[in-house]
Amino acid sequence: MASIKKPGPYNPQKATAYVGKGVLKNGGKMIVKAGGQTHKVFKKKVDKGIGNKGDIVVDHTAGPSAGKWDKINLTEKSKAKTVKQGVASVKKWHRENPNYGNSSKKPSVAKKRR
C-alpha cells in the first residue's frame, strides 16, 4: 500500500492516517435507497438484539414497521461479511423482488370503457 506524499518536511511524530479504497468514512454505515424504501446497512457493535457482534445487519428505517423483517441479519441470509457486500445483497434482493417495495406504488390497471 503506497502512502500519499504530503508537502512539507517529514515529521515522524505527526500521525497521518491512510484512508484507502473501500474504507467507509461514516463509521461503517451506509444508507441505501432500494425498492422505494430507505435501508441502513451497518456492522453490529454490541451483542444485543438480532444477530451477534460483528454481523452485517440491514434496518428498514423509513415507513411503517415491517414487523419481524424490520431488521434482517445479512450475515445469516446472504453470507455478507462486509457492509459493501450487504449493500449489494439488499440491492440484488429488491431487483429480483420488485413487488415487495413501497406499498404506495401499486401496478396500474387499465380502466374498462363503459
In this predicted model, what pLDDT tens digit does every residue of 34-72 receive, in sequence order? 888 888 899 988 888 888 888 999 988 766 666 767 888
Quote the pTM value.
0.62
Hey, where are the domains in the chain? Answer: 29-98
CA pair distance 73, 54, nearest whole angstrom: 11
56: left (phi over 0), alpha (psi -120 to 50) or beta: beta
SS3 label, residue 21: coil
What distance, in Å, lies between the first and last C-alpha atoms of the chain? 71
C-beta separation of 25 from 90 below 8 A = no
